[in-house]
Chain A
Amino acid sequence: MASEALVQLFHVYKQYAGEGPALADATLEVGRGEFVFLTGPSGAGKSTLLKLIFCAEPATSGQLLVFGRNVAKILPRHVPPLRRAIGVVFQDFKLLPHRTVAENVAVPLEVRGLAPRDVARKVAVVLRSVGLELKAGKFPLSLSGGEQQRVAVARALVGDPALLLADEPTGNLDPDRTVEVMDLIEAANARGTTVVVATHDRSLLERYQRRVIALESGRVISDGDAFRRRAGS
């Protein structure tokens, strides 16, 4: 798969004040259309890597290109447009409690200045795809955890992002809900969205058989489809 790279890291270091490095000499590439698991023990630097990619944190040194652009050189006011091309899903959903399900999903579209009619149409389509069309008018706090995470996935996908980042998206879900949410993410990948999922749930790696990047103490200790190979061997 000779693909164009969406994310490239060259010897990236990230050091938080007064800590050891959260990322050390990380060099890796994620190509368009790929589905990548990011794994490693707690504190390995998974979340840090995702934060660097969507410009929530700057790298301490090294070079990081997102969509081919050096994020160290992006002006603050160009960060929001860049982020609109990236969908993000968190372990704790991070829904806006004062907005209904439909209104939560609509945020990324409203920000883009889409006409209300188009917003409503797209939101309805996305909510149907995550099976929540009947919950559109509910508020997040009245939904189950699995439903809330499906809302979050819908919100991350509604703007057709080129890249979807998910940080422990199933960390708070039981096994059945986990599969529901992961299937949604996989379906998005099948439609062409590049996906990076951080998880330390080994069962996911086995079930989905994708490229796995393993981190430990901030270092990339392995990169490849190890599980697939093992499964196939």
Chain B
Amino acid sequence: MTIDSIIQALGARIINIEDPKREITAGYCGDFLSNVISKAPADSVWFTVMNNQNVAAVQTLADIALTVICEGVEPDATLAARVKERGLNMIVTDLGVYEAVRKI
């Protein structure tokens, strides 16, 4: 499954997308960053409601392919800027974490 197809399935809003054709091979849901770091595999899609700049740090470190911020939460200004600056893939959906995962 590609980033593209996830965006479509969720009808999500794009914060930044660098490589729409990147292949997603795993997934993780959670908000505690230390759990995400150790449990989200590389090339995964990460569902969260966290919206501060540490999300970008964790996404980079763990080589997470795509972050989906759920429940209509907007990334704060620092996070949005950092995601663009680092060329990370991030989208926002109004769906809850459970509903979002079900659609994929």
Query: Is chain B found bound to chain A in the same assembly?
Result: no
Binding site for B on A (CB under 8 A): none
- Chain B contact residues, CB within 8 Å of chain A: none
